[in-house]
Structure 1
Protein backbone atom coordinates (compact mmCIF):
# COMPACT_ATOMS: atom_id res chain seq x y z
CA UNK A 1 0.00 0.00 0.00
CA UNK A 2 1.13 3.52 -0.76
CA UNK A 3 -0.14 6.23 1.56
CA UNK A 4 -0.30 9.55 -0.28
CA UNK A 5 -1.45 12.63 1.61
CA UNK A 6 -0.17 15.17 -0.89
CA UNK A 7 -2.23 18.35 -0.96
CA UNK A 8 -3.67 17.74 2.52
CA UNK A 9 -3.09 19.91 5.59
CA UNK A 10 -2.82 18.17 8.95
CA UNK A 11 -2.87 19.57 12.46
CA UNK A 12 -1.42 17.35 15.20
CA UNK A 13 -1.88 18.75 18.69
CA UNK A 14 0.84 18.19 21.26
CA UNK A 15 3.29 17.24 18.53
CA UNK A 16 6.62 18.50 19.86
CA UNK A 17 7.42 15.15 21.45
CA UNK A 18 6.39 11.54 21.92
CA UNK A 19 3.47 10.05 20.01
CA UNK A 20 2.43 13.40 18.57
CA UNK A 21 5.84 14.06 17.08
CA UNK A 22 5.96 10.56 15.57
CA UNK A 23 2.51 11.10 14.03
CA UNK A 24 3.56 14.45 12.59
CA UNK A 25 6.61 12.83 10.99
CA UNK A 26 4.56 9.99 9.50
CA UNK A 27 2.01 12.37 7.99
CA UNK A 28 4.68 14.72 6.64
CA UNK A 29 6.60 11.83 5.10
CA UNK A 30 3.35 10.76 3.39
CA UNK A 31 3.21 14.17 1.73
CA UNK A 32 0.93 16.16 4.03
CA UNK A 33 1.55 19.75 5.05
CA UNK A 34 1.75 19.32 8.83
CA UNK A 35 1.23 21.87 11.59
CA UNK A 36 3.41 21.22 14.63
CA UNK A 37 1.70 22.32 17.82
CA UNK A 38 2.83 23.01 21.36
CA UNK A 39 2.24 25.72 23.95
CA UNK A 40 5.66 27.40 23.60
CA UNK A 41 6.58 29.12 20.34
CA UNK A 42 10.32 28.59 20.81
CA UNK A 43 9.90 24.85 21.37
CA UNK A 44 7.65 24.51 18.33
CA UNK A 45 10.12 26.41 16.14
CA UNK A 46 12.97 24.19 17.37
CA UNK A 47 11.06 21.01 16.55
CA UNK A 48 10.09 22.31 13.10
CA UNK A 49 13.76 23.08 12.41
CA UNK A 50 14.86 19.64 13.65
CA UNK A 51 12.31 17.79 11.52
CA UNK A 52 13.15 19.84 8.44
CA UNK A 53 16.84 19.11 8.96
CA UNK A 54 16.10 15.39 9.06
CA UNK A 55 14.32 15.53 5.68
CA UNK A 56 14.23 18.43 3.22
CA UNK A 57 10.97 17.22 1.72
CA UNK A 58 8.83 17.77 4.79
CA UNK A 59 6.36 20.65 4.60
CA UNK A 60 5.88 21.87 8.17
CA UNK A 61 4.10 24.77 9.85
CA UNK A 62 4.80 26.21 13.29
CA UNK A 63 1.42 26.45 15.03
CA UNK A 64 2.11 27.26 18.66
CA UNK A 65 -0.73 27.89 21.08
CA UNK A 66 -2.63 26.39 23.99
CA UNK A 67 -5.56 24.51 22.44
CA UNK A 68 -7.11 23.99 25.88
CA UNK A 69 -8.28 27.62 25.66
CA UNK A 70 -10.54 29.25 23.07
CA UNK A 71 -7.99 31.97 22.28
CA UNK A 72 -5.16 29.46 21.99
CA UNK A 73 -7.13 27.20 19.66
CA UNK A 74 -8.01 30.17 17.47
CA UNK A 75 -4.33 31.15 17.31
CA UNK A 76 -3.34 27.64 16.23
CA UNK A 77 -6.04 27.40 13.57
CA UNK A 78 -5.09 30.83 12.21
CA UNK A 79 -1.52 29.60 11.70
CA UNK A 80 -2.62 26.30 10.18
CA UNK A 81 -5.33 27.40 7.78
CA UNK A 82 -8.07 25.02 6.55
CA UNK A 83 -7.50 21.60 8.14
CA UNK A 84 -8.07 18.36 6.22
CA UNK A 85 -6.66 16.01 8.87
CA UNK A 86 -7.11 16.77 12.57
CA UNK A 87 -5.24 14.59 15.05
CA UNK A 88 -6.22 15.34 18.64
CA UNK A 89 -3.19 13.93 20.39
CA UNK A 90 -2.70 16.35 23.27
CA UNK A 91 -3.30 14.73 26.65
CA UNK A 92 -2.24 14.60 30.27
CA UNK A 93 -1.88 11.57 32.50
CA UNK A 94 -0.48 10.61 35.87
CA UNK A 95 -0.97 8.29 38.80
CA UNK A 96 -3.03 9.45 41.76
CA UNK A 97 -4.82 7.79 44.65
CA UNK A 98 -8.46 7.43 43.52
CA UNK A 99 -10.03 8.95 46.62
CA UNK A 100 -7.58 11.85 46.61
CA UNK A 101 -8.34 13.20 43.13
CA UNK A 102 -9.73 16.70 43.63
CA UNK A 103 -12.57 18.34 41.75
CA UNK A 104 -10.01 20.59 40.08
CA UNK A 105 -8.05 17.60 38.78
CA UNK A 106 -11.19 15.92 37.43
CA UNK A 107 -12.00 19.14 35.56
CA UNK A 108 -8.43 19.57 34.30
CA UNK A 109 -8.36 16.08 32.82
CA UNK A 110 -11.69 16.64 31.12
CA UNK A 111 -10.67 20.07 29.81
CA UNK A 112 -7.35 18.91 28.37
CA UNK A 113 -8.16 15.38 27.19
CA UNK A 114 -11.75 15.87 26.01
CA UNK A 115 -12.91 19.46 25.66
CA UNK A 116 -9.81 20.60 23.74
CA UNK A 117 -10.56 17.91 21.14
CA UNK A 118 -14.23 18.87 20.97
CA UNK A 119 -13.29 22.52 20.47
CA UNK A 120 -11.04 21.75 17.50
CA UNK A 121 -13.50 19.31 15.93
CA UNK A 122 -16.23 21.93 16.20
CA UNK A 123 -13.98 24.44 14.42
CA UNK A 124 -12.69 22.18 11.62
CA UNK A 125 -15.39 19.62 10.86
CA UNK A 126 -17.76 22.00 9.01
CA UNK A 127 -15.02 22.88 6.50
CA UNK A 128 -14.18 19.22 5.95
CA UNK A 129 -17.85 18.41 5.34
CA UNK A 130 -18.19 21.33 2.93
CA UNK A 131 -15.13 20.16 0.97
CA UNK A 132 -16.37 16.56 0.97
CA UNK A 133 -13.24 15.05 2.51
CA UNK A 134 -11.57 15.01 5.89
CA UNK A 135 -10.17 12.93 8.70
CA UNK A 136 -10.57 13.42 12.44
CA UNK A 137 -8.50 11.13 14.64
CA UNK A 138 -8.68 11.24 18.42
CA UNK A 139 -5.82 9.53 20.22
CA UNK A 140 -7.46 7.57 23.00
CA UNK A 141 -6.00 4.78 25.11
CA UNK A 142 -6.48 1.23 26.30
CA UNK A 143 -7.27 2.98 29.59
CA UNK A 144 -10.59 4.01 28.05
CA UNK A 145 -11.69 0.39 28.33
CA UNK A 146 -9.43 -1.07 31.00
CA UNK A 147 -9.67 1.71 33.59
CA UNK A 148 -6.41 1.81 35.60
CA UNK A 149 -6.95 1.82 39.36
CA UNK A 150 -4.10 4.32 39.73
CA UNK A 151 -5.53 6.89 37.30
CA UNK A 152 -9.30 6.70 37.11
CA UNK A 153 -9.57 10.32 36.01
CA UNK A 154 -7.39 9.62 32.98
CA UNK A 155 -9.40 6.54 32.05
CA UNK A 156 -12.62 8.53 32.38
CA UNK A 157 -11.36 11.19 29.97
CA UNK A 158 -10.34 8.64 27.35
CA UNK A 159 -13.66 6.82 27.63
CA UNK A 160 -15.36 10.15 27.00
CA UNK A 161 -13.17 10.65 23.93
CA UNK A 162 -14.51 7.41 22.44
CA UNK A 163 -18.04 8.77 22.81
CA UNK A 164 -16.96 12.07 21.26
CA UNK A 165 -15.50 10.24 18.26
CA UNK A 166 -18.56 8.10 17.69
CA UNK A 167 -20.91 11.05 18.04
CA UNK A 168 -19.08 13.31 15.60
CA UNK A 169 -18.79 10.41 13.13
CA UNK A 170 -22.58 10.42 13.07
CA UNK A 171 -22.58 14.18 12.58
CA UNK A 172 -20.37 13.68 9.50
CA UNK A 173 -22.29 10.68 8.12
CA UNK A 174 -22.36 10.46 4.34
CA UNK A 175 -20.09 13.46 3.86
CA UNK A 176 -16.82 11.78 2.90
CA UNK A 177 -15.37 12.74 6.28
CA UNK A 178 -14.39 10.01 8.74
CA UNK A 179 -14.01 10.32 12.50
CA UNK A 180 -12.22 7.63 14.47
CA UNK A 181 -10.38 7.12 17.72
CA UNK A 182 -7.12 5.22 18.11
CA UNK A 183 -6.72 3.09 21.22
CA UNK A 184 -3.02 3.41 21.94
CA UNK A 185 -1.55 0.87 24.33
CA UNK A 186 1.29 1.42 26.80
CA UNK A 187 3.78 3.41 24.72
CA UNK A 188 7.44 4.27 25.22
CA UNK A 189 7.71 8.04 25.61
CA UNK A 190 9.64 10.32 27.95
CA UNK A 191 6.51 10.93 29.99
CA UNK A 192 5.82 7.22 30.28
CA UNK A 193 9.38 6.59 31.42
CA UNK A 194 8.75 8.99 34.29
CA UNK A 195 5.42 7.29 34.99
CA UNK A 196 7.06 3.85 35.02
CA UNK A 197 9.58 5.03 37.57
CA UNK A 198 6.74 6.28 39.77
CA UNK A 199 5.59 2.68 40.06
CA UNK A 200 8.82 0.63 40.06
CA UNK A 201 12.24 0.89 41.71
CA UNK A 202 14.01 3.99 40.34
CA UNK A 203 17.39 2.31 40.71
CA UNK A 204 16.55 -0.27 38.02
CA UNK A 205 18.04 0.16 34.51
CA UNK A 206 15.40 1.17 31.96
CA UNK A 207 15.07 -2.20 30.21
CA UNK A 208 14.62 -3.96 33.53
CA UNK A 209 12.25 -1.27 34.83
CA UNK A 210 10.13 -1.58 31.67
CA UNK A 211 9.86 -5.36 32.04
CA UNK A 212 8.96 -5.01 35.71
CA UNK A 213 6.29 -2.40 34.92
CA UNK A 214 4.69 -4.56 32.23
CA UNK A 215 4.79 -7.64 34.44
CA UNK A 216 3.32 -5.97 37.51
CA UNK A 217 1.04 -3.28 36.10
CA UNK A 218 0.19 -4.32 32.51
CA UNK A 219 0.40 -8.15 32.63
CA UNK A 220 -2.35 -8.65 30.04
CA UNK A 221 -0.23 -7.14 27.24
CA UNK A 222 0.36 -9.75 24.53
CA UNK A 223 3.25 -7.70 23.14
CA UNK A 224 4.94 -7.81 26.57
CA UNK A 225 6.81 -4.59 25.89
CA UNK A 226 6.03 -0.93 25.51
CA UNK A 227 4.87 0.14 22.07
CA UNK A 228 7.11 2.55 20.15
CA UNK A 229 5.54 5.89 19.07
CA UNK A 230 6.22 5.09 15.41
CA UNK A 231 3.97 2.04 15.70
CA UNK A 232 1.07 4.26 16.74
CA UNK A 233 1.94 6.73 13.98
CA UNK A 234 1.76 4.02 11.31
CA UNK A 235 -1.88 3.32 12.16
CA UNK A 236 -2.72 7.03 12.27
CA UNK A 237 -1.16 7.58 8.84
CA UNK A 238 -3.28 4.78 7.40
CA UNK A 239 -6.51 6.04 8.98
CA UNK A 240 -5.71 9.54 7.74
CA UNK A 241 -5.38 8.31 4.18
CA UNK A 242 -7.92 7.65 1.40
CA UNK A 243 -7.22 3.95 1.91
CA UNK A 244 -9.27 4.00 5.14
CA UNK A 245 -12.36 5.55 3.53
CA UNK A 246 -14.72 2.86 4.90
CA UNK A 247 -13.53 3.11 8.50
CA UNK A 248 -15.46 5.64 10.57
CA UNK A 249 -17.02 5.80 14.00
CA UNK A 250 -14.52 3.18 15.10
CA UNK A 251 -12.14 2.69 18.01
CA UNK A 252 -9.11 1.14 16.33
CA UNK A 253 -6.66 -0.67 18.59
CA UNK A 254 -2.88 -0.32 18.55
CA UNK A 255 -2.58 -1.73 22.03
CA UNK A 256 -0.27 -4.70 21.72
CA UNK A 257 -3.20 -6.96 22.61
CA UNK A 258 -3.61 -5.26 25.97
CA UNK A 259 -7.41 -5.09 25.83
CA UNK A 260 -8.69 -8.64 26.33
CA UNK A 261 -11.40 -8.51 23.70
CA UNK A 262 -12.01 -10.21 20.35
CA UNK A 263 -14.12 -7.34 19.01
CA UNK A 264 -12.53 -3.85 19.27
Structure 2
Protein backbone atom coordinates (compact mmCIF):
# COMPACT_ATOMS: atom_id res chain seq x y z
CA UNK A 1 0.00 0.00 0.00
CA UNK A 2 1.33 3.43 -0.92
CA UNK A 3 1.53 6.15 1.69
CA UNK A 4 -0.62 9.25 1.57
CA UNK A 5 1.10 12.35 0.26
CA UNK A 6 2.40 14.68 2.95
CA UNK A 7 0.04 17.55 3.73
CA UNK A 8 1.44 20.94 4.70
CA UNK A 9 0.33 22.29 8.07
CA UNK A 10 -2.67 24.57 7.55
CA UNK A 11 -2.51 28.22 8.49
CA UNK A 12 -4.68 28.98 11.51
CA UNK A 13 -6.95 30.43 12.61
CA UNK A 14 -8.93 29.66 9.48
CA UNK A 15 -12.53 29.62 8.32
CA UNK A 16 -13.82 26.93 5.99
CA UNK A 17 -16.90 27.67 3.92
CA UNK A 18 -18.38 24.17 3.86
CA UNK A 19 -21.17 22.09 2.42
CA UNK A 20 -22.44 19.35 4.73
CA UNK A 21 -24.35 16.45 3.15
CA UNK A 22 -26.12 13.47 4.73
CA UNK A 23 -27.39 10.55 2.65
CA UNK A 24 -29.59 7.81 4.15
CA UNK A 25 -29.98 4.63 2.11
CA UNK A 26 -32.15 2.47 4.41
CA UNK A 27 -34.86 1.95 5.49
CA UNK A 28 -35.88 5.00 3.43
CA UNK A 29 -33.81 7.02 1.02
CA UNK A 30 -33.30 10.59 2.12
CA UNK A 31 -30.70 13.23 1.48
CA UNK A 32 -30.05 16.64 2.92
CA UNK A 33 -27.45 19.33 2.54
CA UNK A 34 -26.67 22.72 3.94
CA UNK A 35 -23.94 25.32 3.76
CA UNK A 36 -22.24 26.80 6.78
CA UNK A 37 -18.74 27.65 7.99
CA UNK A 38 -16.35 26.04 10.46
CA UNK A 39 -13.34 27.31 12.37
CA UNK A 40 -9.96 25.61 12.42
CA UNK A 41 -8.00 26.84 15.43
CA UNK A 42 -4.99 25.96 17.55
CA UNK A 43 -6.31 25.14 21.03
CA UNK A 44 -3.24 26.85 22.53
CA UNK A 45 -3.69 29.98 20.45
CA UNK A 46 -7.38 30.73 20.10
CA UNK A 47 -8.39 33.74 17.97
CA UNK A 48 -8.18 37.10 19.72
CA UNK A 49 -11.03 38.99 18.09
CA UNK A 50 -11.83 42.68 18.46
CA UNK A 51 -14.21 43.21 21.38
CA UNK A 52 -17.11 44.13 19.12
CA UNK A 53 -16.82 40.78 17.27
CA UNK A 54 -16.42 38.49 20.28
CA UNK A 55 -20.16 37.72 20.61
CA UNK A 56 -19.97 36.39 17.04
CA UNK A 57 -17.25 33.81 17.73
CA UNK A 58 -16.48 32.46 21.18
CA UNK A 59 -14.59 29.28 22.06
CA UNK A 60 -15.60 28.13 25.55
CA UNK A 61 -14.21 25.15 27.45
CA UNK A 62 -17.69 24.53 28.92
CA UNK A 63 -18.91 23.50 25.46
CA UNK A 64 -16.54 20.54 25.22
CA UNK A 65 -15.48 17.40 27.10
CA UNK A 66 -16.53 17.45 30.76
CA UNK A 67 -17.59 21.08 30.51
CA UNK A 68 -15.81 22.07 33.73
CA UNK A 69 -12.15 22.25 32.65
CA UNK A 70 -10.41 25.64 32.88
CA UNK A 71 -9.45 25.56 29.19
CA UNK A 72 -9.99 23.56 26.02
CA UNK A 73 -6.47 22.16 26.28
CA UNK A 74 -7.06 21.05 29.87
CA UNK A 75 -10.31 19.32 28.92
CA UNK A 76 -8.65 17.55 25.99
CA UNK A 77 -5.62 16.50 28.04
CA UNK A 78 -7.88 15.07 30.77
CA UNK A 79 -9.81 13.04 28.19
CA UNK A 80 -6.64 11.77 26.50
CA UNK A 81 -5.14 10.80 29.87
CA UNK A 82 -8.31 8.85 30.68
CA UNK A 83 -7.68 6.89 27.46
CA UNK A 84 -4.02 6.26 28.28
CA UNK A 85 -2.67 8.80 25.78
CA UNK A 86 0.14 10.95 27.19
CA UNK A 87 2.24 11.74 24.13
CA UNK A 88 -0.09 14.29 22.49
CA UNK A 89 1.82 17.19 24.00
CA UNK A 90 2.36 19.12 20.77
CA UNK A 91 0.10 21.14 18.52
CA UNK A 92 -3.63 20.43 18.56
CA UNK A 93 -5.86 21.71 15.77
CA UNK A 94 -9.61 21.86 16.43
CA UNK A 95 -12.33 22.02 13.75
CA UNK A 96 -15.56 23.33 15.25
CA UNK A 97 -18.43 25.79 15.34
CA UNK A 98 -17.84 28.75 17.63
CA UNK A 99 -20.57 30.22 19.81
CA UNK A 100 -22.54 32.82 17.86
CA UNK A 101 -24.69 35.24 19.86
CA UNK A 102 -24.58 32.91 22.84
CA UNK A 103 -25.64 29.75 20.99
CA UNK A 104 -23.58 26.79 19.86
CA UNK A 105 -24.36 23.33 18.57
CA UNK A 106 -21.57 21.08 17.33
CA UNK A 107 -22.71 17.79 15.80
CA UNK A 108 -19.02 16.95 15.36
CA UNK A 109 -15.86 18.61 16.66
CA UNK A 110 -12.51 17.17 15.59
CA UNK A 111 -9.10 17.47 17.28
CA UNK A 112 -5.90 16.52 15.43
CA UNK A 113 -3.43 15.85 18.26
CA UNK A 114 0.32 15.90 17.60
CA UNK A 115 3.42 15.20 19.65
CA UNK A 116 6.25 17.67 20.10
CA UNK A 117 7.98 16.47 16.94
CA UNK A 118 4.87 17.30 14.89
CA UNK A 119 3.76 13.70 14.30
CA UNK A 120 0.05 12.95 14.51
CA UNK A 121 -0.69 10.88 17.63
CA UNK A 122 -4.47 10.60 17.46
CA UNK A 123 -7.68 12.27 16.38
CA UNK A 124 -10.49 12.86 18.84
CA UNK A 125 -14.01 13.00 17.41
CA UNK A 126 -16.38 14.69 19.84
CA UNK A 127 -20.05 14.09 19.01
CA UNK A 128 -22.97 16.09 20.37
CA UNK A 129 -26.61 15.05 20.07
CA UNK A 130 -29.79 17.09 20.36
CA UNK A 131 -30.58 15.55 23.77
CA UNK A 132 -27.90 17.63 25.45
CA UNK A 133 -25.27 14.87 25.58
CA UNK A 134 -21.72 14.59 24.26
CA UNK A 135 -19.33 11.71 23.70
CA UNK A 136 -15.75 11.32 22.43
CA UNK A 137 -14.18 8.69 20.18
CA UNK A 138 -10.41 8.20 20.21
CA UNK A 139 -9.14 7.41 16.70
CA UNK A 140 -5.79 6.22 15.36
CA UNK A 141 -6.05 7.08 11.65
CA UNK A 142 -3.76 5.60 9.03
CA UNK A 143 -1.67 7.80 6.74
CA UNK A 144 -4.75 8.53 4.62
CA UNK A 145 -6.76 9.68 7.62
CA UNK A 146 -8.92 6.54 7.73
CA UNK A 147 -10.13 4.95 10.95
CA UNK A 148 -12.97 2.76 12.22
CA UNK A 149 -14.53 2.72 15.66
CA UNK A 150 -17.50 0.95 17.23
CA UNK A 151 -20.54 3.17 17.67
CA UNK A 152 -21.60 3.46 21.32
CA UNK A 153 -23.41 6.80 21.50
CA UNK A 154 -27.02 7.58 20.57
CA UNK A 155 -27.19 10.43 18.07
CA UNK A 156 -30.14 10.16 15.69
CA UNK A 157 -33.52 8.95 17.03
CA UNK A 158 -33.76 6.79 13.92
CA UNK A 159 -30.62 4.74 14.62
CA UNK A 160 -29.69 2.71 17.67
CA UNK A 161 -26.13 2.28 18.89
CA UNK A 162 -25.35 -0.78 16.77
CA UNK A 163 -22.63 -0.82 14.16
CA UNK A 164 -19.44 1.14 13.64
CA UNK A 165 -18.22 4.36 12.08
CA UNK A 166 -15.79 4.36 9.19
CA UNK A 167 -14.21 7.77 8.98
CA UNK A 168 -11.84 9.55 6.66
CA UNK A 169 -10.44 12.54 8.50
CA UNK A 170 -7.32 13.90 6.78
CA UNK A 171 -5.81 17.01 8.31
CA UNK A 172 -7.41 20.04 6.61
CA UNK A 173 -5.32 22.07 4.21
CA UNK A 174 -6.42 24.26 1.32
CA UNK A 175 -9.39 21.92 1.13
CA UNK A 176 -11.45 20.24 3.83
CA UNK A 177 -12.73 16.79 2.82
CA UNK A 178 -14.19 14.57 5.56
CA UNK A 179 -16.38 11.46 5.38
CA UNK A 180 -18.19 9.53 8.11
CA UNK A 181 -20.13 6.33 7.32
CA UNK A 182 -22.32 4.31 9.65
CA UNK A 183 -21.75 0.61 8.92
CA UNK A 184 -23.78 -2.36 10.12
CA UNK A 185 -22.68 -5.95 10.62
CA UNK A 186 -24.65 -7.11 7.55
CA UNK A 187 -22.46 -4.93 5.34
CA UNK A 188 -25.01 -2.16 4.85
CA UNK A 189 -24.06 1.50 5.12
CA UNK A 190 -27.30 3.25 6.01
CA UNK A 191 -25.80 6.71 6.50
CA UNK A 192 -22.98 8.64 4.84
CA UNK A 193 -22.05 12.17 5.88
CA UNK A 194 -19.55 14.39 4.11
CA UNK A 195 -18.09 17.80 4.93
CA UNK A 196 -16.27 19.62 2.16
CA UNK A 197 -14.97 23.16 2.12
CA UNK A 198 -12.31 25.70 1.23
CA UNK A 199 -9.72 27.33 3.50
CA UNK A 200 -9.84 31.08 4.15
CA UNK A 201 -7.65 33.02 6.59
CA UNK A 202 -9.82 34.04 9.55
CA UNK A 203 -9.59 37.81 9.36
CA UNK A 204 -12.29 40.29 10.30
CA UNK A 205 -13.43 40.70 6.72
CA UNK A 206 -13.63 36.94 6.17
CA UNK A 207 -15.65 36.43 9.35
CA UNK A 208 -18.12 39.19 8.50
CA UNK A 209 -18.58 37.76 5.00
CA UNK A 210 -19.25 34.30 6.48
CA UNK A 211 -21.79 35.78 8.89
CA UNK A 212 -23.59 37.58 6.07
CA UNK A 213 -23.82 34.37 4.05
CA UNK A 214 -24.81 32.27 7.07
CA UNK A 215 -26.48 34.48 9.71
CA UNK A 216 -26.61 32.86 13.15
CA UNK A 217 -25.20 29.67 11.69
CA UNK A 218 -25.24 27.56 14.86
CA UNK A 219 -28.95 28.14 15.47
CA UNK A 220 -29.65 27.28 11.83
CA UNK A 221 -27.78 23.99 12.18
CA UNK A 222 -29.68 23.08 15.35
CA UNK A 223 -33.07 23.98 13.85
CA UNK A 224 -32.24 22.23 10.58
CA UNK A 225 -31.52 18.94 12.35
CA UNK A 226 -34.90 19.08 14.07
CA UNK A 227 -36.70 20.02 10.85
CA UNK A 228 -35.25 17.09 8.95
CA UNK A 229 -36.05 14.81 11.89
CA UNK A 230 -39.71 15.76 11.62
CA UNK A 231 -39.67 15.04 7.89
CA UNK A 232 -38.17 11.60 8.44
CA UNK A 233 -40.73 10.84 11.14
CA UNK A 234 -43.55 11.84 8.77
CA UNK A 235 -42.08 9.47 6.19
CA UNK A 236 -42.71 6.66 8.66
CA UNK A 237 -39.18 6.08 9.90
CA UNK A 238 -39.47 4.32 13.28
CA UNK A 239 -37.99 5.88 16.41
CA UNK A 240 -35.29 3.83 18.13
CA UNK A 241 -35.37 3.97 21.93
CA UNK A 242 -32.63 6.04 23.52
CA UNK A 243 -30.63 4.04 26.07
CA UNK A 244 -30.22 5.57 29.51
CA UNK A 245 -26.69 6.76 30.09
CA UNK A 246 -25.06 9.33 32.33
CA UNK A 247 -23.89 12.37 30.41
CA UNK A 248 -23.16 15.98 31.09
CA UNK A 249 -25.58 18.46 29.53
CA UNK A 250 -24.48 20.60 26.63
CA UNK A 251 -25.32 24.21 27.47
CA UNK A 252 -26.41 25.49 24.09
CA UNK A 253 -27.99 28.79 25.03
CA UNK A 254 -26.08 30.12 28.03
CA UNK A 255 -24.51 33.51 27.41
Q: TM-score, normalised by structure 1?
A: 0.26
Greater helix share, 1 or 2?
Answer: 1
Choose between structure 1 and 2 for higher RCO, CA contacts under 8 A separated by at least 6 residues: 2
Q: TM-score when scaled to structure 2?
A: 0.27
Structure with more strand by fraction = 2
